[in-house]
Structure 1
Amino acid sequence: MSNSIEQAVEARLVAAAPRMQSIPATLHYDRGDPFAVRMSFPAPATLEGIEVYWTFARELLAQGMEQAVGDGDVRVRPYGFDRTVVEFHAPEGTAIVHIRTGELRRFLHRSLTLVPVGDEHLHVDLDQDLADLMRDAC
């Protein structure tokens, strides 16, 4: 069994223009970081012209499909019957994307086959994480 999964999703960028632009995005999950989900956007889809990654809690994504959650850099909320809004807040501005909720559910289901909710702690190597922190501090 693989240690990670990736799933391409179609994100619709909410902009000032009435029509939302479709941009590619990829969701990533790795059992080595079992509490987190990473969403990446390719260079052509970003203002900086470089690939951008956002990392946030898997639980935030799961809860955000049902109710508005998050009060930090990443916020998630349902939108209508079949969309979920993900907001990314940075000093440069805010990006708001709509993603089909079904795509998010499939991704989360796949992540749960790697690490079920409640078993995340079994996949965390605290000794290694502490060693990495101490090494970086020196």
Structure 2
Amino acid sequence: MPREKQGRRRSAPSDEPMMDINTTPLIDVMLVLLIMLIITIPIQLHAVNLNMPTGNPPPNDIKPEVLRIDIDERSTVLWNGEAIADLPEVERRFEQIATQAVQPEVHLRPDRRARYSIVAGVMASAQRSGLTKLGIVGSEQFIP
């Protein structure tokens, strides 16, 4: 008799409940949600929005004062032709001119053989002091 019971179980699998989950509807729903997400995401533009002034600027009758800072091949900092001992002295002078009502234009002229750390130190000192009119002059010497 035990053999008949075993045979009956094997021959009639429709009597037992199915234990597998049908994943096809789940996959369909996930694909629809993914497509909806892709459609609704805004396109990212690689642009920077700037508020630019409109119209012509008023004419400037006053010539700005120009401060020339040269850095020679020995990495010596020259303040309008006068040699400066070290970077803290440069920063102290920057702080003095930053307090003026009309800041002068700072023209930085580094030599191509000057040490980068000195040039970067002068620019960082100008930024820390709050100077806003800083430009590097003579950069065509760096073009090979």
TM-score computed with the length of structure 2 as normaliser = 0.25
TM-score by length of 1: 0.25
Could you say which structure has the higher strand fraction?
1
Q: Which has the higher helix share?
A: 2
Q: Which has the larger Rg?
A: 2
